[in-house]
Amino acid sequence: MSEGAQPSSDLRETLIHCALHLLERDGLAKVSLRAVARSAGVSEAAPYTHFSGKSGLMAAVAAHGFHILNRRLTHAPQEQDPLHSLTSLGVIYIRFAEDYPALYRVMFGPSDTLDQDEASYVRESRMSFEHLLKTAALCGAHAPTSDEAQIDAAAAWSLVHGLAMLRLDGRLPINPPDLTRRVAQRLAAGLGKID
């Protein structure tokens, strides 16, 4: 093994972390398998032992982002009132987007950016939606598999995702105190009133 090379078991994670660093520093356009290999100190062929190409690497990067988001969602305060829990999830989601703007854009960006069938991406992205779906179902006293719970979850996700993107793009012409929490509270309150 050449100097600077990583053991195979750790190389995949090293490559993901190098890609994350390049993504945050230089943007998606500058991330390539060649640049990631150079950053990791391995041969240009090494990433291909773990990823099918750039879309496979970016799927793994996005999965890593969902893993971070899922950890945050899992540690959200468990409130007596599920509407308060839904508010907390919304705030966590938007703060995640603000903490990792480039990663967030990859996670929710165009489908041609990443391999949406990559196993870790499918697992981690589904898990993040399950957090939301479970809480939305509790808000409406619905079964998580019901159409109503899924519609409530879609409404909640759409609102917080839209707010996150408006904030990231600097397109929101207002910024009252505690905007994120107040918007999430209004959504939760609305879900609590609508059958």
User: What CATH code is carried by the domain that includes residue 45?
Assistant: 1.10.10
174 burial (CB, 10 Å; 0-12 / 13-18 / 19+) is exposed
Q: Are residues 120 and 85 in the same domain?
A: yes
Q: Are residues 82 and 141 in the same domain?
A: yes
Domain that holds residue 45: 1-50
Q: Are residues 179 and 93 in the same domain?
A: yes
How many Å apart are CA 191 and CA 169, to the nearest integer?
A: 27
How many Å apart are CA 17 and CA 183, to the nearest integer?
A: 33
pTM of the model: 0.87
10-residue stretch averages of pLDDT, the chain, 195 residues long = 48 96 93 95 94 94 97 89 89 94 93 89 95 89 88 91 93 84 80 57
Question: Residue ranges of the alpha helices (H) in the chain?
Answer: 8-26, 33-40, 54-74, 82-99, 101-107, 119-140, 147-168, 179-193
Number of domains in the chain: 2
Which 3 state secondary structure label does DSSP give 41? coil
